[in-house]
Each structure stands twice: as structure tokens, then as C-alpha cells.
């Protein structure tokens, strides 16, 4: 049997064909952009260990508010969990990052102290690329405030699930 013979020859019905052909390029582009925004994470947030009781977890966050969370230690929720942030919270985080010029921040801020945990924030940029910033202290106040905001909201949804 040839490959061509094994394929289905069914055609879309007239309703499907008309709906697709009537869509304007702008509508199709908007639909594809919406699918892309929910299919790919818009930010990654990670807190690493220290020599004390620092929270250690990773959160992968999507534009629609889905959160893939993995708690490791000193957090209210251990293991992998599906959580949800309000989409407005995700939008707020992205706007705050944009307004502070996140894309032009240094890739690392450190005070060269060995016991400080690292906080990683990786954001999808408007061009689709990812920008990661590692903070161990000494970061601009706006960035520290944003990191605290993200941590507080992730902790709230982890506690609520627990």
C-alpha cells in the first residue's frame, strides 16, 4: 500500500471552509497570537536554596494564569502542582517589568555573599526572546519590589491549594 493511498481524502465541509476563508488576516493573526500566548510560558520564577530556611521552588507562568509549580523545600506545597494566578496578576507583572525596562537590566545582581539565595526571573520579551535576571541582592528597588510581589502571589496560591 502506498503512502498516498493510506491518507484520508476527506475534505472540510462547506461551513468550515467558509468560516476559514471569511476570516481577515488581522483576525487570524490575533487568534494565532492568543494561542501562542497561552501555549508558551510568559515568565519563569525560581528561588534557590541558602544555608537557612529559604523557600526553594520553581514556577512557570502562562499569560492565562496557569502556573506549573514545583516546591522543593521550606514552602507550603512540596512537589509538582498545577496552580492558577488571576490573569490580571500576570498582566500586572508583565507591565511592571516592561515599565522598569526589564529587557535592559543586567543579567545578574549580586552582593558577593555566599549564603544568599538566588531569585531568577525570566520573562518573554515582546520579540519572543527570553530575558533572565538573577538576583542575590543589590538589584534596583523596582526589581526587588516586583520579585517580592511575584513571590507573595505564588505563596498565596500555594497556601490556598495546601
pLDDT digits (tens, 9 = 90+) for 88-105: 999 999 999 999 999 999
Classify residue 22: in a domain, yes or no: no
Classify residue 57: in a domain, yes or no: yes
Over residues 4-21, mean pLDDT: 40
Classify residue 21: in a domain, yes or no: no
Note the pLDDT of residue 6.
Answer: 36
Backbone dihedral angles phi then psi of residue 102, each to the nearest 5 degrees? -50, -40
What does the alpha-carbon distance between residue 64 and residue 91 come to, in Å, rounded to a whole number?
9
Classify residue 9: in a domain, yes or no: no
- Is the pLDDT reported for residue 112 higher than 90? no
Note the pLDDT of residue 26.
Answer: 59
Contact 70, 50 (CB under 8 A): no
- CA 66, 149, 102, 45 torsion-angle sign: negative
How many distinct structural domains can be found in the chain? 1
DSSP 18-56: HHHHHS-HHHHHHHHHHHHHHHSEEEEEEE---SSS--E
pLDDT in tens, 132-157: 999 999 999 999 999 999 999 999 99
Least confident of 2-6, 20-24, 60-64, 150-154: 2-6
- Is the pLDDT reported for residue 14 higher than 60? no
User: In CATH, what number is assigned to the domain containing residue 134?
Assistant: 3.30.1560.10
pLDDT band at 10; cut points 50, 70, 90: very low
Q: What does pLDDT average to over the chain?
A: 84
Classify residue 18: in a domain, yes or no: no
What does the alpha-carbon distance between residue 65 and residue 41 come to, in Å, rounded to a whole number?
10
Classify residue 20: in a domain, yes or no: no
Note the pLDDT of residue 18.
Answer: 43
The domain in which residue 92 lies consists of 41-161
Burial string for 32-51 (b: 16+ CB within 10 Å, else e) reads eeeeeeeeebbbbbbbbebe
Classify residue 6: in a domain, yes or no: no
Classify residue 142: in a domain, yes or no: yes
Amino acid at each position: 500500500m502506498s503512502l498516498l493511498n493510506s491518507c484520508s481524502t476527506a475534505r472540510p465541509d462547506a461551513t468550515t471552509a467558509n468560516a476559514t476563508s471569511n476570516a481577515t488576516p488581522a483576525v487570524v493573526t490575533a487568534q494565532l497570537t492568543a494561542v501562542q500566548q497561552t501555549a508558551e510560558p510568559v515568565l519563569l520564577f525560581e528561588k534557590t536554596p541558602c544555608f537557612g530556611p529559604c523557600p526553594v521552588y520553581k514556577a512557570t507562568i502562562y499569560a492565562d494564569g496557569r502556573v506549573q509549580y514545583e516546591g522543593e523545600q521550606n514552602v507550603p506545597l512540596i512537589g509538582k502542582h498545577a496552580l492558577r494566578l488571576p490573569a490580571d496578576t500576570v498582566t500586572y507583572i508583565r507591565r511592571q517589568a516592561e515599565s522598569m525596562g526589564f529587557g535592559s537590566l543586567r543579567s545578574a545582581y549580586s552582593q558577593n555573599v555566599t549564603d544568599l539565595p538566588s531569585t531568577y526571573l525570566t520573562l518573554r520579551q515582546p520579540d519572543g526572546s527570553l530575558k533572565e535576571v538573577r538576583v542575590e541582592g543589590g538589584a534596583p528597588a523596582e526589581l526587588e519590589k516586583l520579585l517580592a510581589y511575584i513571590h507573595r502571589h505564588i505563596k498565596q496560591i500555594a497556601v490556598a491549594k495546601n
